Structure 1
């Protein structure tokens, strides 16, 4: 199951609050074409076939292919310097630590 770091959870909560999504809204991750990467969007609710991850005021909806691709991954947020030299935060996917 996809793991979510505390930093990523705070970023998701901030995004969904700023977007004024209704209760139950959240971040949706889709992999309609896994070769092209993942698509992140805000959604008012999960699609019927989504895997729903919830916890501490956040919802993440995983489209079925995304759920499969992310099964053993962790969602994090990392700093990134853009072309203008400004620091931004971006979601990043990495492997889960072995236990």
Structure 2
């Protein structure tokens, strides 16, 4: 399952609060229809029925069902850039 770094968790929490999303809302990751192999991120008020839900308290991330397997071994990270928050994916660190 996709994991979140502390930076990503805090960034998602901040974006959700800034957008005044309800408690059911969060960041949704879906495969881009316009450009294969890329992902679209959007703030949504609730997950879609078949989304995988990653709930870390105030930060909720919803992963499109068809994308969940591809992202299962990835970790979502975030950093603040001049254009605002930026998200990136990286392989999860091996356990042990």
2:25 matches 1:25: yes
Cross-structure match for 1:53 = 54
- 1:91 paired to 2:92: no
Checking the alignment, whether the CA contact within 8 Å between 1:76 and 1:91 is kept in structure 2 is yes
Alpha-carbon distance in 1 for matches of 2:22, 2:80: 29
Deviation per residue, 1:2-45 (Å, 9 max, x gap): 01000000000000000011121000000154724000000000
Does the 8 A contact of 1:52 with 1:62 survive in 2?
yes
2:40 corresponds to 1:44: no
Find the aligned partners of 2:83 and 2:39 in 1 and give their Cα distance.
22
Which structure would you say has the larger RCO, counting Cα contacts within 8 Å and 6 or more residues apart? Answer: 2
Find the residue that maps to 2:42 and give its secondary structure. strand
- Please give the per-residue CA displacement for 1:47-98, whole angstroms capped at 9, x wherever unaligned: 0010111012111111012211101000001354xxxxx4743101000111
Give the number of aligned pairs.
Answer: 94
The structure 1 segments of at least 4 consecutive aligned residues displaced by more than 4 Å after TM superposition are none
Q: In angstroms, what is the RMSD of aligned CA positions? A: 1.7
Where does the alignment leave 5 or more consecutive residues of structure 1 unmatched?
81-85
Larger Rg computed on CA atoms: 1
